[in-house]
């Protein structure tokens, strides 16, 4: 067979039907790049792999299972990955044999050979598992999993108690592992957004427990070849040690009559040594609005210079509210702590019904709750009731190969009238309203290895990013232009109006003119009587989209998780059904295969 020959399924033996369409696409892509010598080497390698795989996992005897610890993480924004990586380091320091895997890279059948398992997983949307955890999450719910009597496990969940399905994915993993006969090492811990202290306590307990469990085994640190190494991007700078950057520009890129205020934000990383890749996010620490902080103190009749203690430090209550505590998002833990002092019967009724409380808090900030239910509360009681500010993550809208020591963001300003006053988002208003050009802000890079351009520059790319979801795709195209990538590129973009809301229009037109972008499909919902969204364009152009997928295209979705991403997924199912001549179940399996092959990636929030 020559290096340039194409192999079709009709030329292969009947056994080849075991491969899916996606697998065949990947095989064919790989074969076209190999020399005859490489093909011979590969055939021998695969034969050896097949020979070693012939021993059924179920035949492994208990005495053959070596005691060790495996840590699995499922992460949407990087927090679960960071915790899991730090856990691995702590266990390794104590000479505990430990391996670390992203759930997407973990072979499910390996569970039968595990003795000690730690699961660190986040939840997003309506109780949904993060993308890299979906396959394992589904496997544990299936009949294929079998009994795991030999396994001891611990589960740590990350979530936000403001949402209805708080830490639901962690709860699912805990329940499903328990049903297999696996035994919990510790009770599951569900962490809210302010999780550092809880994680530290849980880690200490887990370390003590694991050391007792594995004390009779040779303490030789081992790690899988697939273990994830913590990214070195940002070098010494991190969430805990952010870089003090400079705001270079905050420019409105929607029209005067737009219903949205979206800004293009440029930040200098000069002299930081920070490196990032297209697909990564930038974490931004922000200050609350000084006017809002003073208004809250006035409502509670608390003097701004009153001294309080926060995390072992003494400071004024004004400074604590300005820099340290979350005021622009409301959350059940505040209401509970506040009403222990306020003792309002109506607020107690809301607390008793989670659904009612969730609706009440959805459109209110902390100051609104205090206005609705006045109370006499001390400065320290107020501080103790609030949770710490958490940085906001923004998809990076630039390639460092293009902008060098800058980083660009696409920021939608959150600003609205409610309950008789103007409300603003915490980070968005800080970046676009309060921070002047030349002002300083603290930032860090959050790597996102689950949202990466294909390594093969010849691979086609399909990008679906309405609204600010376009941000990472600007970075993608800057990178592909610099790399002179030959792969085709197709953008699906939507917003309310063409004349007001076509973000980066001139740049996308230049990408098309320069041959970087081959196709742009637009969906401006309010430019006609019937609203049109990106999912409608996907359905309209389904035949061509499916052809691209069959040709090896990588599919990316960025933006709203609650509605857009789900609508897009349903549209993709319909496209694969119709143009791939598949059932709904087969279409879902097709997209699952794409996800496993890293060809269907989502960055949703």
pLDDT higher than threshold 50 for residue 102: yes
DSSP string across 281-303: EEEEE-PPPHHHHHHHHHHHT--
CA geometry: angle at 369 spanning 365 and 370, to 5°? 115
Which residue, among 262, 286, 276, has the nearest Cα to 472 in the 3D structure? 276
Check: CB of residue 242 under 8 Å from CB of residue 283.
yes
3-state helix, strand, coil in the chain (%, to 5): 45, 20, 40
Give the pLDDT of residue 231: 44
CB 327 within 8 A of CB 367: yes
Quick: pLDDT tens for 483-524.
Answer: 999 999 999 999 999 999 999 999 999 999 999 999 999 999
Q: Note the pLDDT tens digit of each residue in 368-410.
A: 999 999 999 999 999 999 999 999 999 999 999 999 999 999 9
The pLDDT assigned to 29 comes to 55
Work out the mean pLDDT of the chain and round it to a whole number.
87
H-helix segments, 363-504: 366-372, 379-385, 400-403, 426-429, 471-483, 498-501
Tens digits of residue pLDDT in 233-266: 445 899 989 999 999 999 999 999 999 999 999 9
What mean pLDDT comes out for the span 50-56?
44
Between CA 426 and CA 331 the distance in angstroms is: 15
Token pair belonging to 305: 């210079």
Asked if residue 466 lies in contact with residue 494, where contact means CB atoms within 8 angstroms, the answer is yes
pLDDT digits 0-9 by tens, 325-348: 999 999 999 999 999 999 999 999
**Higher per-residue confidence, 220 vs 246:** 246
What are the tokens at 109? 């059948």
Rounded Cα–Cα distance for residues 394 and 425 (Å): 14
Place of tokens 């730090």: 86
Helix (H) or strand (E) holding 360: helix 354-362
Could you read off the pLDDT of 253-312 as tens digits, one per residue?
Answer: 999 999 999 999 999 999 999 999 999 999 999 999 999 999 999 999 999 999 999 999
Lookup: tokens for 324: 């340290």
In the DSSP assignment, the letter for residue 396 is B
What CA–CA distances, in Å, run from 545 to 320, 435, 454, 472, 603?
Answer: 52, 43, 18, 20, 20
Instruction: Give the whole-number percent of the chain exceeding pLDDT 90.
Output: 70
Q: Check pLDDT > 80 for residue 58.
A: no
Residue 1 has pLDDT above 60, yes or no: no
For residue range 417-473, list pLDDT tens digits in order: 888 888 999 999 999 999 999 999 999 999 998 899 999 999 999 999 999 999 999
Q: By three-state DSSP, how is residue 481 classified?
A: helix
Q: Which two tokens stand for residue 93?
A: 């320091």
Q: Which two tokens stand for residue 498?
A: 């063409």
Cβ atoms of 549 and 594 within 8 Å: the answer is: yes
Instruction: Give which of 306, 323, 419, 315 is closest to 362, Cα–Cα.
Output: 419
DSSP code of residue 250 = E
Residues 109-129: pLDDT tens digits?
899 989 999 999 999 877 889
The burial of 308, by beta-carbon neighbours within 10 Å (0-12 exposed, 13-18 middle, 19 or more buried), is given as buried
pLDDT confidence of residue 230: 43
Taking alpha carbons only, the member of 533, 481, 538, 528 closest to residue 508 is 481
All structural domains of the chain, each given as residue ranges with its CATH number in brackets, are: 9-54 (no CATH), 66-213 (3.40.50.360), 243-286+391-446 (2.40.30.10), 290-385 (1.20.990.10), 461-604 (3.40.50.80)
| 518 contacts 488 by C-beta, under 8 angstroms | yes
């Amino acid at each position: 067979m020559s290096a340039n020959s194409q192999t079709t399924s009709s030329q292969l033996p009947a056994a080849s039907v075991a491969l899916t369409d996606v697998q065949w696409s990947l095989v064919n892509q790989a074969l076209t790049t190999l020399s005859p010598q490489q093909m011979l080497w590969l055939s021998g390698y695969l034969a050896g792999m097949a020979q070693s795989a012939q021993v059924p996992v179920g035949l492994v005897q208990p005495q053959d299972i070596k005691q060790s610890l495996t840590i699995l993480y499922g992460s949407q924004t990087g927090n679960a990955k960071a915790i899991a990586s730090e856990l691995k380091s702590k266990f390794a320091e104590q000479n505990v044999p430990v391996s670390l895997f992203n759930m997407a890279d973990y072979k499910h059948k390996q569970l039968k050979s595990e003795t000690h398992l730690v699961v660190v997983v986040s939840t997003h949307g309506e109780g949904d598992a993060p993308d890299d955890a979906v396959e394992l999450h589904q496997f544990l719910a299936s009949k294929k999993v079998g009994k795991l009597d030999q396994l001891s496990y611990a589960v740590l969940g990350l979530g936000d108690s403001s949402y209805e399905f708080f830490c639901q994915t962690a709860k699912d993993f805990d329940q499903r592992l328990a049903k297999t006969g696996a035994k919990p090492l510790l009770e599951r811990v569900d962490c809210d957004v302010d999780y550092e202290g809880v994680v530290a306590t849980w880690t200490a307990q887990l370390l003590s427990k694991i050391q007792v469990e594995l004390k009779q085994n040779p303490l030789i640190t081992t790690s899988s070849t697939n273990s994830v190494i913590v990214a070195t991007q940002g070098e010494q700078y991190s969430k805990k040690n952010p870089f003090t950057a400079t705001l270079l520009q905050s420019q409105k890129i929607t029209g005067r009559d737009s219903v949205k205020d979206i800004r293009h934000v440029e930040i200098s990383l000069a002299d930081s040594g920070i490196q990032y890749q297209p697909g990564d996010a930038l974490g931004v620490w922000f200050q609350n609005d000084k006017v809002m902080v003073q208004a809250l103190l006035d409502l509670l009749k608390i003097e701004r210079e009153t001294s309080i203690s926060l995390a072992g430090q003494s400071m004024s209550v004004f400074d604590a509210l300005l820099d340290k505590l979350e005021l622009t998002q409301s959350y059940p833990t505040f209401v509970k702590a506040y009403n222990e002092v306020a003792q309002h019967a109506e607020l107690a009724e809301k607390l008793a019904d989670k659904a009612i409380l969730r609706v009440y808090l959805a459109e209110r900030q902390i100051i609104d709750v205090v206005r609705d239910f006045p109370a006499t509360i001390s400065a320290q009681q107020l501080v103790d009731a609030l949770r710490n500010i958490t940085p906001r993550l923004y998809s990076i809208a630039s390639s460092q190969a293009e902008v060098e020591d800058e980083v660009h963001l696409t920021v939608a300003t959150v600003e609205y009238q409610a309950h008789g006053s103007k409300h603003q988002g915490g980070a968005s208003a800080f970046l676009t309203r309060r921070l002047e050009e030349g002002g300083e802000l603290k930032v860090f890079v959050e790597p996102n290895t689950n949202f990466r351009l294909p390594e093969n520059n010849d691979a086609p790319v399909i990008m679906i990013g309405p609204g600010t979801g376009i941000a990472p795709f600007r970075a993608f195209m800057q990178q592909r232009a610099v790399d002179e990538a030959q792969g085709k590129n197709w953008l699906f973009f939507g917003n309310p109006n063409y004349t007001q809301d076509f973000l980066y229009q001139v740049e996308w037109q230049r990408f098309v003119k320069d041959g970087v972008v081959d196709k742009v499909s637009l969906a401006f919902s309010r430019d006609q009587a019937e609203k049109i969204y990106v999912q409608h364009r996907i359905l309209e152009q389904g035949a061509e989209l499916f052809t691209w997928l069959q040709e090896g295209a990588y599919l990316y979705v960025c933006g709203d998780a609650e509605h857009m991403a789900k609508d897009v997924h349903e549209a993709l199912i319909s496209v694969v059904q119709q143009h791939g001549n598949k059932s709904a179940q087969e279409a879902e399996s097709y997209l699952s295969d794409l996800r496993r092959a890293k060809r269907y990636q989502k960055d949703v929030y």
